Each structure stands twice: as C-alpha cells, then as structure tokens.
Structure 1
Amino acid sequence: MTNLKLMTISGSLRKGSYNRMLLAEAAEAFGPADVTEGDLNLPLYDGDLEAESGVPEAAQTLARQIKDADAVVISAPEYNKGITGVLKNALDWISRVEGAAFRDKPTVVISAAAGRTGGETAQFMTLSCLTQLQARLLPGTSVLIAGAMNAFDETGKLKDNTSRKLLATRMEALRAEVS
C-alpha cells in the first residue's frame, strides 16, 4: 500500500517558527505519509506581473502539490490580529492557477501564536479564504496554541498534553477522511 500524501503549509517563512513546529507535530500525529512542505516564498501578487509573465512557476508548483495531496494541513500564525501576508499572498496566487487546487481537498487549519488567543483571528480569516477556494474544511475543535514561545520544548514538541491530544484528534479525523 502506498503512503497517503500530506501537504503542510506554514504561514510563516521563518525556519524555526512555532507554526512549523506545530506542523511537524501534526504530521507525526497524522501517521505514515509522504509529507510535502509548501514553499510560500513567492513574489507579491501583482496582476501586471501575471499579465506580463503568467503565474510564477513557484506558485504553479505549490498549486500542483496541493492538488496532488490527499490532505492539507495549514498552520496560520497571527500577525497584528490577522492572517500573515505570506499566507494570504500564497492563497491569492493559488487562486490564479487553473484547476482549483483546493476544490474538495480535505483541509485542516491550526495555529500557534504568541498572543493569548493562539491565532484565533488568523485562523478565522484563513478559513474564510479557503471557503472561497472551495476547500473541504473539516469541522472540529480549533487547535489554537497560545503563548507559543512557551508551548514547545527544546526539541520542538508540544509540552501540553491537552494540546497534543486535541491535535491528535484533528489529525486522526483528517486521516479517516482520506483513508
């Protein structure tokens, strides 16, 4: 049997970001899978650039990876009570690629943020964008890791048992959706 294909997308470009740590925990909780991490290092969306050169290859690759995945997990950090520019920009570029990459794609959004709401506003905004892209958003209790700078140990693992169990429940539901 071939492994499922899990696509992870972090709304933060920083290599050591808490959202990347959270995605690593999510991938582990999902279980055996071929995991691909999306590269959101894309040019800013610009209709003139698109008209002149078409959709950049990096955005086309990202859309293709999403389309080829069995499931997607997005970790949405919160900057200034909103979605990160990096994540919004990537979603905008993906929307310009033929074939609706997210259409009916089983998707879960999770968040880690320094603030006390754990990225709730960014998660809400991300879910709103994904609704327009026709993702199949799995219902369930939100995974919101507040005070992210204190939520992970030195190896990048979540310290809190309750958060680990909640994340595991969400990933088990995602896996069941595509198995």
Structure 2
Amino acid sequence: MNVLTFAASSSRQSINKQLATYVASLIPNANVNVVDLNDFEMPIYSSDRETESGIPEQAQRFFNIIGEADVIVVSFAEHNGSYTAAYKNIFDWASRINQKVYQNKKMVLLSTSPGPGGAKSVLAQAVGSAPFFAADVKASYSLPSFYDNFDVEKGVVRNETIKEELSALVSSL
C-alpha cells in the first residue's frame, strides 16, 4: 500500500509532520512517502498568474504524487484558526488542475498544536470541505498538547490511550 503523508505546514520542525509520519508508520505493510510542502513552493495563486504563466510544474508534481498514493495521511497546522498559507497555496494551484484534488483517495486527517486545542478548528474545516475535493475521509483525529503527548526524540506518542486510538484509526485502512 502506497501511503502519502505530509504536514499542511511549511515549518521544517513541524510537529504536524512528526504526527503524520508517526500515524503513517502505524499502517501495516505501508510504503510511506513523506513529502515536505517546502519542495512545492510557488508563487501565490491568482487567476492573473494562471492566465499569464499557466500552472506551475510544482503544482502538477504535487497533484501527480497524490495520484500515486493509495492512502493519504495529512496533519494540519493551524494559523489563526485556519489553514497555513503554504498549504492553501499549494491546494489552490492543484485545484486548478482538477477540483478533485484528492482523487478519491482514502484519507486520515489529523491536527495537533502545543496547546490543549489541538488545532481542532482547522481540522474541522478540512474534514468538512474534503468531500468537495474527492477525499474519502476514513478518520480524523486532533492530538492536544503535542509536547505532553509525543516523545519528539523517539518520534512516538507516549500516551498509551492515544496510541491505541491512533492504531484503531488506521486499522480500517
């Protein structure tokens, strides 16, 4: 099973990337492809840019990588209660290739933050809008208080209850 995983963040030390990578590792027999949104940096989307220059190669590459996956695991960082600018821009460009950005792939949507809210606002937005972009959301999960619940050095969840909940999420895939 080919699993694409990424954080909807441009932070190189992204706690969401750590969470997404961990959850993807729980999927049995998975060939995990971890991508970094920084590898898809491009101009901010505008219809004028699209008319003048077309769709950037990075957007096509991102869309193609999605197409190669069987399952997608994404963890959303929250900036001011919404998507990060980095994710939104890549998503906007990819949606110009085809509005069905997620190409009917099975998805696990996650979020986390250092605080107790666990970025629930952005996760709710992602879960709510996903069907409009051909995402087959199988599960979603918000991990609160990242540094209390995740061992950064070992790259694993340290809370046993949360570990069990996350393992159960991916068991249906």
| TM-score, L = length of structure 1 | 0.86
For 2:156, what is the secondary structure of its paired residue?
Answer: coil
The correspondence for 2:147, drawn from 146, 149, 171, is 149
Q: 1-side partners of 2:59 and 2:24: how far apart?
A: 23
After superposition, residues 113-152 of structure 1 pair within 5 angstroms as 113-138=113-138, 140=139, 142-152=140-150
Q: Is residue 74–residue 108 contact of structure 1 (8 Å, CA) maintained in 2?
A: yes
For 1:67, what is the secondary structure of its paired residue?
Answer: helix
Listed one character per residue, the Cα deviations across residues 121-152 of structure 1 (whole Å, up to 9, x for unaligned) are 110111233222121111x4x42111113322
Equivalent residue for 2:51? Answer: 51
Equivalent residue for 1:40? Answer: 37
- Return structure 1 stretches of 4+ with deviation > 4 angstroms: none
Q: Is residue 117–residue 146 contact of structure 1 (8 Å, CA) maintained in 2?
A: yes
Q: CA deviation at 1:99?
A: 7.7
Q: 1-side partners of 2:123 and 2:67: how far apart?
A: 22
Provide the alpha-carbon RMSD of the alignment. 1.7
Structure 1 counterpart of 2:145, one-letter code: G
The unaligned stretches of length 5 or more in structure 1 are 175-179
Q: Is residue 11–residue 86 contact of structure 1 (8 Å, CA) maintained in 2?
A: yes
Q: State the identity as a percent.
A: 29
User: Is residue 31 from structure 1 mapped to residue 28 from structure 2 by the alignment?
Assistant: yes
Q: Is residue 84–residue 122 contact of structure 1 (8 Å, CA) maintained in 2?
A: no
The unaligned stretches of length 5 or more in structure 2 are none
| TM-score, L = length of structure 2 | 0.88
Shift in alpha-carbon separation, 1:37–1:75, aligned structure 2, 3 A: same
Q: 1-side partners of 2:99 and 2:146: how far apart?
A: 36
Q: How many correspondences in the alignment?
A: 169
User: Is residue 17 from structure 1 mapped to residue 14 from structure 2 by the alignment?
Assistant: yes
Equivalent residue for 1:168? Answer: 167
Equivalent residue for 1:71? Answer: 71
